[in-house]
Amino acid sequence: MAEGHTTIAVQNYLGELAGIEGSAPAASIIRALIDSSVTRLHLLCKTLLVRSYPRLTRPPFNLQSEEMLSSVVDRLLRAMEKVRPATVRQFFALANQHMRWELNDLARRLDGQPSAMEFQEAFMPSADTSASQLTPNALRMLKAIESLPEEEGEVFSLVRIQGMAQTEVADLLGTSTKAIQRRLNRALMILARNLSDLNPPPPSSPQPAEDA
Amino acid sequence: MPDDTADQEKSTEPERSTGPSQERSLQARIDELVEEILETDRTPEEVCAQRPDLLALVREELRKLSNVEGQLNSLFPNSLERVKSRVRSSAMLEGVFPSIPEYVVQKVLGRGGMGIVYHARHLQLKRDVALKMLLSGSYASRRDHLRFLREAESSAALRHPNIIQVYDIGEVDGHPYYTMEYISGGTLAEQIAGGMQPARDSAKLVAALARAVQAAHESGIVHRDLKPANILMTTEGLPKISDFGLARWLDRESSLTNTGARIGTPSYMAPEQLRGGAAAAGPAVDHFALGAILYEMLTGHPPFRAETVSDTERKLATEEAEPPSRFNSKVPRDLEVICLKCLEKAPQARYASAGDLADDLERFLRHEPIYARPVAPGERLIRWIRRHPLPAALTVAFLVLVGLIGSQVVDNWAKSAASRVEKARLTSRFETGIQLVQEGRFAEAHAILGRLGDGGFSELRQRIDRALADLDLVEKLDEIGVVRATLLNADDPAWHPKAQAAKEYESLFASSGIGKMTDEPAAIARSIGASEIKQPLIAALDDWAVCEREASRRNWVLEVARLGGAPDQEWENRCRNPATWTDRTQLLELCNRAPNVKASVQQLRALGDRLALTRLDATAFRLRVQAGHVDHFLANLSLADELSSRNPAEAIRYYQAAIAVRPRSATAHHNLGVALARLNRLEEAIQSFNRALTFDAKSVATHFQLGMALRTKRPLDAIQELQTAIQLNENFAVIHQAYGELLLKEHRLREAAQAFQSCLKLSKDETQREQVSQWLKQCETPPAK
C-alpha cells in the first residue's frame, strides 16, 4: 500500500467510525487502521535502515529491508490485534507506543550489527563512518519523544510516527489545526533543548536552489 | 540523555507566568519569541523589535531548532516543520505527487523548507510549468492566506521578458500554489559558482535585471530577496527573476532551514533591511541587491561576507564594500563606480530608480561617460564622521583651530581633492579608450582618445599621446590583415596578397620600433609584453605567420608570438607550434577545441586559412567562428570569403554583416561586389565597387573588377577602369588580356595589340598565351573587308 494513500485511508476510516456511533468498533475498520499503521511502520523502518546503514543493503551483504523488517511488522500486527481500543484516539495511542518500541528495537539491533560484521568489514575498502552515528541518535530521539509531556507527545507521535496530516490530527483530537500547530512547535522546542548536543547530521548534499 | 527531561519540560509552562529567577524568565521570554516566530510568519528581527538584546539568542535558539528538526526529518520523514505530511512525505519517499486540477505533476525540481517546486504540465494548454507549492504552517491564519493569494495575483499581472511569468494561482488541500514559466538553464548562482564573470557580460546582465526590476517597481511590486539563486537562466543565457512580489512569503524559509547554512544570510540584504521598519520594504533594497549581484559577478563573492551571520551583519551595517577591482583587476573603473553606488548604505545615495541604474550601465556599455561619480575623499570623511560622531567632533574642533591658524592649508587640500576626482574621471575615460583599441573598435576609440583632455596632468597627457600612437599602429596592422582578403576574380601569378601583407607586416613592425627579423625573438616578445596593445600585436603576429610562405621566416614570427603570448594559453601556443602547421589531424583537433578557448579572431581566422592550405574544407569551422563572434568584422568577412566562390548568395549576407560593423571598409565592399558579380547582379556589383573606390581609390583589384562588371553595358567606361588599373600596377597579365579584349571589340586594334603584347610578356600560362596570340594576330591582320 502506498504511504501517500495511508492518511487518506485513515481519514475515511475516521469518518466511518464516527458514523458507527459508540457501537462496538467494526473489526474491518480496526483491521484497516492496523494495516495503515503497519505500512507506516514499514516505511519508517526502511528509512532507518537505508539511512543508517546503506552499505548493508548493497553487496556483499544484500540485506533486504523486507526480510529484516517482516518480523518487526509481524510483531506489531500481533500486538495490535490483541488490543481492542474503544476509541480511535486510544487506538492510535497504543499504535504509537508499539511503533516506538519496535523502532527502538530495530535501532538497537542495527547498532549491534556492524560489530557482528567486523570480521567481514576488515576486507571492505572503507567504512561508512558518517552513518554509523545515526542509530545512537535514533535511539536518543525515540527516548526524547517518549518523555515528551502528554499533549505534545500525542500530537508529535500522530504527525511524526503515524504520518498523519495536521488537519486529520485536529479532527481526531477535536481541536483546531492552530492548536495542533502550537503543540507541535512546543514539542519541537522541548526536543531541541534536550537534543541540542546531538551529533550533527552527516553532511547532506547541498539543497537544490530552493526558489527554483 | 539526562533523566530529568520530563521535569524540565513540565517546568516550561509555569516559567512563563512566574519566572522564579531572572535567568529562567529570560529563557521563558526567548521561548515565547521563538514560538511567536514559529506560529506567525514574522522574522526574528520583527519579533525582537522590542527586545533587540535578545535577537542573537533567539537566532541561536532557531538554529538549534533547525538542527534538531533536520535530524528528526532524516528519521521521521514527515511534517512538523510546517509541512503537511501528505505532500512532503509522499513526494519525498514514495514519489506520489499531489493531484492538481488541470495539471499533471511530472517530477520534483527542488525542495526547500517552505515548499516544493514541481515540473508540471498544463493539460489543455500543453504547456510546461514550474509549480511551486507552499507548505502550510507559516500561513496559520486564513487572513495571511488570502493576503498571499492577493499578492500572487498582482505578481501574476507583471509581464516582462526578464521576469518569470506567473501563470496561475490556486489552492489544493489547503496548500496555496502558483505556476510559472518553466526555465531549464539553472540559476545565476550556479553559473557564477565562485568564478569571476567578464565585466561587460556582467554589466549587460545586471542592466537587463535592472530594467525588469524597474518595471516591477512601477507596478508597485518590490522583490526584497533578489539574489543569484533567484535569477534563473534560460538556455539562451537570458536572465529571469523569479518570485517577484512573493519573496516575503518565502522569507521564513531562510530563518529556519535544515542545513542552517542560509539562516538569514544577509549577503544580498540592504542595511536598512537589518533594521526593519518601513524602509526595509522600499524599492531601494532591490537597487542594493542588484549592486550586490553585480559585485558577485565581478569578484566571485558577495560584497559582505564573514564567518558568521552576525559578523556579516556587522560588516553590512558598518563597513564600506571593498572595491571590486581589489579582487579582479580587470574590472573597469566606471563599472566599479556604478557597482559601489548601488551598495551605498543610505538608500538616497543609491540610484533613484532601477531604471537609472540600467541607464548608467548601458552608458558604460556604449563607452559613454557615466553619471555616477566616484566617492570623493571629502565625502568619505563626512561618512566617517557620521559613523563616528565623537572622534569626529574632536577632529572638527581641531580642524577649526587649524582653520583659524591657516585656512589656506584647508583650501589647498580641498582643491587637490577635487582635482584627484577629476583625474580619476579622465583616467577612467582613458581606460575605456584603451579597451576599445584592444577590441578593435577604432572609430569609437578615436572618438574618445582624440577628444580626451588631460586636465592639466602631464602624466595623463603622455599616456594619451602614447595611446593615440598605439591606436594608429594597431589600425595599420589591422588594415594589413583586412586588405589581404581582397578577392581577384581571376587567376594571375602576380596576385599574391598574402605575400604582400607579410612584407607590410615586416616593415611596420620594424618602423614602429617593435623589432626586425634580425632581432632575437625573446627581445621582441619582451617589448610586446610591456606594451598596452599587447593583444592586438600578438593577433597581428598570428596573422602575419599565415601570410609567410617561407617556413624559416614563418617560424620566426611564430616564435615571437609564442614568447609574447601568455605561457598558460595552451591552445594558442599549440597553434603556434611549427610542428602542427600542416598536420591535418592536429589542425582538426585544434579546430574542435577552438570553441572552448578565448583566442583572437585573427588567430581563429589564420587557423581557417591553414585548413584551406592543407586542402581541408574550412567552411564549417568559419561558420562556428562567426557564430561565436557574430558582431566581429573579420569573423564575418572571412566566412563570406570562404563561401564566395561556391555560394555567393550566402556570402552576400555575411558581407553585409561585416559592412554593418565597418561601413567604411573598402575590402568588404569590394568583396561584396565580387560576390554580386558572380550572381550576375551587375548593377549592384558596380555600386559596391564604386563605394569601395570612395574608401580606397588606389585598389588595382577594384578598378579591374569594376571594369569587368561594366564591360558588356558600358565598354568605354570599362576600358577607362582597366586603364587606371594598369596605371596603378602593370604586372597583371590578366588585366592586360581583358583590356586588349575590350579594345579589340571596339576595333581599337593598335592599342589592343599593345595590350596583348604586354600580356604575353608577363604570362607563363600556355592556354592564356595561345588565346592571346590568336587575338594578337587578329589585330595585326584585320579581317578582309
pLDDT at B514: 85
Q: Indicate the range of A109-118, B66-75, B310-319, B774-783 predicted with least confidence.
A: A109-118
Instruction: Report how many domains make up chain A.
Output: 1
Domain annotation covers residue A167: yes
pLDDT at B203: 94
Say which CATH architecture domain B697-785 belongs to. Alpha Horseshoe (1.25)
User: Residue A106 in 3-state DSSP?
Assistant: helix
pLDDT at B677: 94
Render the burial of B641-677: b for 16+ CB within 10 Å, e for the rest. bbbbeeebeebbebbebbbebbeebbbbbbbbbbbbb
Contacts of A108 (CB under 8 A, 6+ apart): A135, A139
In the Cβ-directed half-sphere of B733, how many Cα atoms lie within 13 Å?
18
Q: Indicate the range of B224-233, B351-360, B426-435, B486-495 predicted with least confidence.
A: B426-435
B12/A192 Cβ within 8 A: no
Name the strand (E) or helix (H) holding B119: strand B115-122
Indicate the residue of B90, B117, B140 with minimum beta-carbon distance to A212: B117
In the Cβ-directed half-sphere of B420, how many Cα atoms lie within 13 Å?
12
3-state secondary structure string, B208-276?
HHHHHHHHHHHCCCCCCCCCHHHEEECCCCCEEECCCCCHHHHHHHHHCCCCCCCCCCCCCCCHHHHHC
- Closest by alpha carbon to B333, among B425, B465, B448, B197? B425
Backbone angles phi and psi of B434, in degrees to 5:
-60, -40
Chain B residues within 8 A of A157 when measuring between CB atoms: none
Question: What residue type is assigned to position B641 of the chain?
Answer: D
Q: Are A73 and A41 in contact (CB under 8 A)?
A: yes
Where in the sequence is the domain holding A80, given as residue range(s)? 3-116+131-194
A204/B229 Cβ within 8 A: no
**What are the cell numbers at B51?**
527586545
**What are the cell numbers at B751?**
592599342
Question: What residue type is assigned to position A138 of the chain?
Answer: A
CA angle A89–A94–A95, rounded 5-degree value: 95
User: Listing from the earlier edge strand, what are the strands of the sheet with B103-111?
Assistant: B103-111, B115-122, B127-134, B175-181, B166-172
Residue B90: pLDDT band by 50, 70, 90 thresholds?
Answer: very low
Question: What residue type is assigned to position B451 of the chain?
Answer: R
pLDDT at B375: 64
d(CA B229, CA B189): 5
B residues 414-453 lying closer than 8 A (beta carbon) to A = none
The pairs formed by B268-274 with CB atoms below 8 angstroms and a separation of 24 or more are: B268/B225, B268/B226, B268/B227, B268/B292, B268/B293, B268/B302, B269/B316, B270/B347, B271/B316, B271/B317, B271/B345, B272/B347, B273/B224, B274/B45, B274/B313, B274/B316, B274/B317
Interface mutation target, options A50, A166, A211, chain B, most CBs of B under 10 Å: A211
B89 touches chain A (CB under 8 A): yes
Is 90 exceeded by the pLDDT of residue A43?
no
pLDDT at A130: 38
Domain annotation covers residue A202: no
Tell which wins on pLDDT, B243 or B6.
Answer: B243
DSSP A199: P
d(CA B433, CA B439): 10
Tell which wins on pLDDT, A23 or A122.
Answer: A23
d(CA B675, CA B685): 8
The β-bridge partners of B172 are B175
B69/A210 Cβ within 8 A: no
Segment A12-28 mean pLDDT: 53
Class assignment of domain B195-372?
mainly alpha
pLDDT at A70: 67
- Closest by alpha carbon to B176, among B129, B216, B131? B131
Sketch the domain layout of chain B as residue ranges: 5-75, 85-181, 195-372, 389-466, 697-785
* Percent helix, percent strand, percent coil in chain B, to nearest 5: 65, 5, 30
For the stretch A118-166, pLDDT in tens is: 434 333 333 343 344 556 777 788 888 888 898 888 888 888 877 777 7
A209/B137 Cβ within 8 A: no
Q: Which residue of B has its CA nearest to A202?
A: B71
Residue A169: pLDDT band by 50, 70, 90 thresholds?
Answer: confident
Name the strand (E) or helix (H) holding B755: helix B749-762
B residues 32-61 lying closer than 8 A (beta carbon) to A = 34-35, 38-39, 61
d(CA B533, CA B708): 41
Residue B719: pLDDT band by 50, 70, 90 thresholds?
Answer: very high
Tell which wins on pLDDT, A77 or B536.
Answer: B536
Q: What is the mean pLDDT of chain A?
A: 65
CA angle B103–B119–B182, rounded 5-degree value: 100
Segment A54-67 mean pLDDT: 54
Chain A residues within 8 A of B81 when measuring between CB atoms: 188
Residue B386: pLDDT band by 50, 70, 90 thresholds?
Answer: low
For the stretch B200-258, pLDDT in tens is: 999 999 999 999 999 988 888 888 888 888 899 988 889 999 877 666 555 443 333 33
CA angle B291–B292–B297, rounded 5-degree value: 95
B5/A2 Cβ within 8 A: no
A140/B72 Cβ within 8 A: no
Chain A residues within 8 A of B31 when measuring between CB atoms: 189
Backbone angles phi and psi of B18, in degrees to 5:
-95, -55
d(CA B491, CA B737): 12
Indicate the residue of A43, A189, A209 with minimum beta-carbon distance to B229: A209
Indicate the residue of A156, A190, A191 with minimum beta-carbon distance to B12: A190
Residue B484: pLDDT band by 50, 70, 90 thresholds?
Answer: very high
Indicate the residue of A163, A195, A210 with minimum beta-carbon distance to B68: A195
d(CA B552, CA B138): 77
Q: Is the peptide bond before A60 cis (omega within 30 degrees of 0)?
A: yes
Å between B365 CA and nearest CA of chain A = 30
B78/A211 Cβ within 8 A: no
- Identify the burial level of B307 via C-beta atoms within 10 angstroms of its C-beta, where 0-12 means exposed, 13-18 middle and 19 or more buried: exposed
pLDDT at B724: 94
Is 90 exceeded by the pLDDT of residue B313?
no
A148/B67 Cβ within 8 A: no
Residue B15: pLDDT band by 50, 70, 90 thresholds?
Answer: very low
Indicate the residue of B8, B68, B94 with minimum beta-carbon distance to A192: B68
Q: What is the mean pLDDT of chain B?
A: 80
d(CA B706, CA B409): 72
CA angle B651–B657–B659, rounded 5-degree value: 100
Q: Are A102 and A76 in contact (CB under 8 A)?
A: yes
Q: Are B609 and B546 in contact (CB under 8 A)?
A: yes
Q: How far is CA B518 from CA B473, B506, B521, B580, B773, in A?
A: 21, 11, 9, 25, 46
The β-bridge partners of B241 are B163, B231
Segment B471-482 mean pLDDT: 89
Tell which wins on pLDDT, B175 or B724.
Answer: B724
- Closest by alpha carbon to B277, among B285, B288, B289? B285
Question: What is the number of H-type helices and E-type strands within chain B?
Answer: 35, 7
pLDDT at B147: 66
B260 touches chain A (CB under 8 A): no
Domain annotation covers residue A200: no
B404 touches chain A (CB under 8 A): no
Residue B97: pLDDT band by 50, 70, 90 thresholds?
Answer: low
d(CA A130, CA A143): 22
User: Residue B133 in 3-state DSSP?
Assistant: strand
The pairs formed by B363-369 with CB atoms below 8 angstroms and a separation of 24 or more are: B364/B203, B364/B332, B364/B334, B364/B335, B364/B338, B365/B200, B365/B203, B365/B204, B365/B207, B367/B432, B367/B435, B367/B436, B367/B444, B367/B448, B369/B425, B369/B429
Rounded (10°) angle between helices A166-173 and A177-194: 110
Roughly how many angstroms between the first and final C-alpha of chain B, as a whole number? 129
Cβ neighbours, 10 Å, residue B428: 20
For the stretch B156-210, pLDDT in tens is: 878 889 998 888 887 776 677 888 888 888 889 888 888 888 999 999 999 999 9
Cβ neighbours, 10 Å, residue B255: 23
In the Cβ-directed half-sphere of A139, how many Cα atoms lie within 13 Å?
13
d(CA B475, CA B467): 12
Fold (CATH) for B85-181: Phosphorylase Kinase; domain 1 (3.30.200)
B64/A212 Cβ within 8 A: no
What percent of chain B is modeled with pLDDT above 90?
Answer: 26
pLDDT at A68: 59
pLDDT at A123: 37
d(CA B378, CA B373): 13
A205 touches chain B (CB under 8 A): no
Highest mean pLDDT among A25-39, A124-138, B466-480, B638-652: B638-652
**What are the cell numbers at B294?**
553585480
DSSP string across B405-423 = HHHHHHHHHHHHHHHHHHH
B553: left (phi over 0), alpha (psi -120 to 50) or beta: alpha
A133 touches chain B (CB under 8 A): no
pLDDT at A6: 45
Residue B77: pLDDT band by 50, 70, 90 thresholds?
Answer: low
B71/A201 Cβ within 8 A: yes
Residue A2: pLDDT band by 50, 70, 90 thresholds?
Answer: very low
Segment A200-205 mean pLDDT: 44
d(CA B502, CA B511): 14
Handedness of CA B461, B465, B468, B474 (dihedral sign): negative
If you compute the radius of gyration of chain A from its CA atoms, what whole number of angstroms results? 19
Is 60 exceeded by the pLDDT of residue B540?
yes
Interface mutation target, options B30, B69, B74, B173, chain A, most CBs of A under 10 Å: B74
Q: How far is CA A161 from CA A13, A117, A135, A165, in A?
A: 18, 30, 17, 11
Is 70 exceeded by the pLDDT of residue B143?
no
Contacts of B682 (CB under 8 A, 6+ apart): B676, B709, B712, B713
- The CA dihedral of B647, B651, B652, B655, to the nearest 10 degrees, is -170
